[in-house]
Amino acid sequence: MRERAISSVGVVLVGLVPALLGGPIFAATMAALCLVGYREFLTMAGLIGTRPIASGYLAVPAFAVVAVAGWDGQGALGVVALAVGLPLAIAVLRTGGQPDGTLVDWALGAAGSLYLGVPVAAAVAMRQTPGELDRAWLADLAEALSFDQAWGTHPRGLAWLLLVVLVTWIGDTGAYLVGRAVGRRPLLPSISPNKTVEGALGGLAGSALVGGIGVAAFGLGVSPLLGAVLGAVLGALGQMGDLAESMMKRQAGVKDSGTFIRGHGGVLDRVDALLIALTAGWYATTMLDRLVR
């Protein structure tokens, strides 16, 4: 328990401090974490007898670079084309007259690049969301900790990012605690036998509560009711991300995605819910900003 607690503090600091700093530091941290996750994905894919093309080692950082440089339509299309097209080209060259399995290798290589790369771009783009807040304390914090004033402090982006992370983490913790306390009915036992319906509902309640309180505490100008709805939606998607990674581990026959974090398993075991929540959160918060401005 002591080792797990120490590891938990380390995980929070690794993710939180770069988020507060923003700019290239946050982009580089996200890319590095997701590259480790991509390696774990490749390892699990290898355990089921495939040889996915490891083009994500180039594509995942490219997502971070495009996002920190200013995410636009051409940049987005270009990096997605890289994530899909590069492994396809490698697959064609790899065949050597023996195409068996090549389609699966390409598909897994591309899927892994998108699975880990798109959330990187979403998180970085969300952190750089322009705009102000109704609460001076968070704006002052963003200005005090900004990596470089030339990149901008983006207090609204920091607020949205913190909200999405808190909604996901509290939802995950709530699901675990409620499931252990009163969980009776299995949710999806074929994928994750320890998860229960009661735990899932408890997690959704926690996410909704944090969403409603968070939009007010951060001064985002969104009604608490709308914030609660956002929290519940992102909490549900986070649980889907958790189940998706459990499905991968189940097929690969492993308990954890890796051993990168002592007491916690691999990086994917810690960020599986965030991968989906960050991507959906970026789209949702962008739309909400259009409504409140």
Give domain limits for the chain: 23-127, 131-293
pLDDT tens by residue, 145-162 = 766 656 678 899 999 999
pLDDT at residue 69, as a whole number:
87
pLDDT at residue 95, as a whole number:
67
**Confidence (pTM):** 0.91
Looking at the DSSP bridge assignments, the partners of residue 188 are: 192
Residue ranges of the chain with pLDDT lower than 50? 1-2, 4-5
pLDDT at residue 75, as a whole number:
85
> CA 263, 264, 267: angle at the middle one, nearest 5?
140
pLDDT at residue 5, as a whole number:
45
